[in-house]
Amino acid sequence: MSQRPPRKIKAHETAITLTPGEIAFVRAMVICQDDDIIALNKPSGLSSQGGRINAHTLDELTWAFARKGGSRPRLIHRLDRDTSGVILTARTKPAASFLGKAMIAKRFRKTYLAIVAPGAPSPKGGTIDSALRRESIGREAYMRVTDPDHPDAESARTRYRTLAATPDAALMELSPETGRMHQLRVHMASIGRPIVGDARYGGALMVGGHPVPRLMLHAAKLTFPHPDEVPMTVEAPLPDDMVALAAALGLAVPATSDTSSTPRGAEETD
């Protein structure tokens, strides 16, 4: 997860021409949409913004939803490149302003699923309340647990609970109460249960004899006030690679409910 807000869209930005394949790719991510918002299920490996690889970011791919003669949707928050799951965009400036203020007011509730190793933490549920600070190593930025009195300390709080566990691994539900960069990854590592596939923070790349293809962290659910003031919850099912690894490790995956509280007049997904 990331604390830094998406960069502001400038009015003079020139539209990016996307290939038919790119348009189909981003349209396939749509969970639900209406006149105000589009909720997307971002795959792992796609940068939200500012990626270093020679490929379009999700921010750029939103040009696929630009209205004729209008602007494209704006990202309301971001996910790390290797994290999959729900990400919200606003289709209008008023919607972006409303949702931005709602996020600042902490009216957003985010729920993630993660596979950690080895086994379940002790206790199996609780709260991690450990300040973090940013540290740069070369061009890379890391977050470290730090003393709350450190001049660069940022408060960080995460609730967690174990959904399923074996001696080798556990499936966790993580709910951040703050939004620091890499917060969930660093907090889980700090209690000796790093997220598997997270080489940056000590996550295993092989668990129970099974290779881990990537960071096993998924933004499963987002609850927020829709711009029409109707509470809305959007869910994204666990991706196939996480389902497969969980099954191989003997971890039962909870069923994902259908997207709820869809705003009135919602459009059909293209």
Main-chain phi, psi angles of 198, to 5 degrees: -95, 80
Cα separation, 61 vs 77, in Å, equals 15
Name the active-site residue from 34, 36, 80, 82. 80
Q: Can 80 be counted among the known catalytic residues?
A: yes
With 0-12 / 13-18 / 19 or more C-beta atoms within 10 angstroms meaning exposed / middle / buried, residue 215 is buried
How far is it between the farthest Cα atoms of the chain? 57
- Count of other CB atoms within 10 angstroms of residue 66: 15
The closest of 45, 3, 212 to 115, measured between CA atoms, is: 212
Q: Which two tokens stand for residue 264?
A: 């009135």
Helix (H/G/I), strand (E/B), else coil: 199? helix
- CA–CA distance from 226 to each of 6, 65, 267 (Å)? 19, 19, 15
C-alpha to C-alpha distances, 168 to 125, 208, 215, 249, nearest whole angstrom: 18, 6, 17, 7
DSSP string, 124-137: SEEEEE--EEEEEE
Which sequence positions are flagged as catalytic?
80
